[in-house]
Structures are given as structure tokens and as C-alpha cells.
Structure 1
């Protein structure tokens, strides 16, 4: 009988040990799960901050008409509120218009590079040389220029001017043109 009593007591000890081990494993699993959920929330917030679209503002616009061409110049502010850097890869002006026959059409004009002395009438702000880097939580500002021949838009009814900025991450940000000051 002494062996039977010992075996029974041993069984109880083993069962108690298994119960304690199970509770410890359950507690550890629960704690690990909570930590993983917190980490996932942090990672998701970081990804959201990285994916924030840049903010583009047109601060001023000027138009200069020459004998054979028109130049639209826009003072543009590009802000990057994201946690990661980005850059303006390309800029273009989109003109939506209707032909003499009333047919809607669109023309896209890429930004041009000009020397400061060619546009000295714009003031002290520098040209925005595209492509241009926009660091995380920073902003850049400068003039962007678009030039086209006068014959392109002669006798056309313009519906709107739109400035598109294509970012390095592939996002396209657009802003409708404000009425330009004639120079």
C-alpha cells in the first residue's frame, strides 16, 4: 500500500506541476499577444505617417505675354509632413479648354528650366529646380515656369489651369491655378 499512496501523491504533484506550467504558458502567451498588438499599432501609425501626401500650395502666379509665347510662372510651396523624405520628380501644367467648335480638349505642358536673369521680374524667391528633394517634415519653395506658343491657345475658351506635381513615390498632387498677375 505504501507504493500506491506514493504513486497517488506523485500523480497529484505531477498534475499540480502541469497546471502551474499551463498557467505560466497561458500568461506568457497573453502578454506576448498584447505586446504584438501594441507593436502592430505602432508600425501601422508609422506607415500612415510615411504615406501622407505632400501638401502643394500656389502662393502667387504671374503671366508674361511675349510676341510669340506666353509664360506662366507659379510660386509653389511643397510641404512634406511625412516621416520619410520624398522629392518632386516632375511638374506640368494642364490646360483644359474647348476648341472653337466646343470640343473639350486638354494639353499638358512640362515645366521648363530658366535662368534667374530671364525671370528677374519675379522677385527674390529662387526657381524651384525640378527634380527637387523634400526632406521629411520639411518644405521647399520656389518659382516653376511653363512656356508655350501663343498660337496654342489662341481663340480657345480655357476652362481651367491645373498644376500637377508628380512625387518620387508615384503620387500625383494637383492644385488649380489662381488667376495670374499680368506682367
Structure 2
């Protein structure tokens, strides 16, 4: 069975992925549209200020395209939105490092300045965090579909009838201790 079959369409995690992708995609879309509306030079390495960041026509176009991907992920929802968020967030962080390396050089095709690099790092972490929410953690609850997918045998035992408490133990009714997990 595949994980996308186990996560219900209306699962509450899907809303987190959708909202994260939608908000971040909308912010990038606004930035990109402002740059395109200003008629910025497409390949200028100097850049013009847009909403506190430096930009050119190419950066505006890239922003609109990335926004379209995030908004499409928000519309699709579910695991697709989560995966899109994680992927785009990772690419943002990598872009921050790559553009940091080419600051003040002729290879700075997106007209990045240090504020763009910082924005890229922060936005990448925010987008990736939205994608990883409820999916990556050491303390996921037993009913979490991602935990159940990674631990099929303990998940089966967690849903099975609870084991009788040993004499002298203070286990709560209905709680079963799993190997490696506190009761």
C-alpha cells in the first residue's frame, strides 16, 4: 500500500501543506508581478528595488513560475503539496547559497543582493517547514499516517487490543508501550 492511499483527503495535515504553499506562492507571485509590471531590464545584474529586494526581469519571471508551482501544489493538496513544499524550500536554500557565491560578479544573473540571499534562506526554510510539518519528527503520534508508514509492525500492535497491565505497573487503560517508544 502506498502512503498517498493512507492519508485521507480531508486529513488536517493537508490543510497545513495547502495553506503554506498558498501563502508563500502568493507572496512570490506578488513580488514577480511587481517586477514584471515595472518593466525591469531582463538581464541586468545591477537590479532595481522591488518591495525591499533587488530584482530584474528574469528574477521576476522565475518568481512567477515558482509561485505557479506552489499554488498548483496548494490546489492539489495532500502529499503532493507537502512534497512540493519540501522540494521548493530546499531549492530556495540552495539558491541562496549559489547566489551568495556570485554576489557582485557578472554571473549574478538574477541581480541578487545580500537581502535577496537572506530572503531566499528564510523563505526556503518557511516553505520547507510547512512541507515537513507532521511528516518529519521524532515524536509523531501513533495515528500519524507517516509514522504508521515508517513503522508498520509497531503500528499494527498500537492499534491491536492493549496488553494487560503487569501487576504493580501504573499503565493507563488502553495504552500499550511499544519498543523504543515511551508508554
The bucket for the TM-score relative to the shorter chain is under 0.3
Which of these two proteins has the greater Rg computed from alpha carbons? Answer: 1
Q: Relative contact order: is structure 1 or structure 2 higher (C-alpha 8 Å, sep ≥ 6)? A: 1
Hey, which of these two has a bigger chunk of strand by percent?
A: 1
Q: TM-score, normalised by structure 2?
A: 0.24
Which has the larger share of helix? 2
TM-score normalised to structure 1 length: 0.24
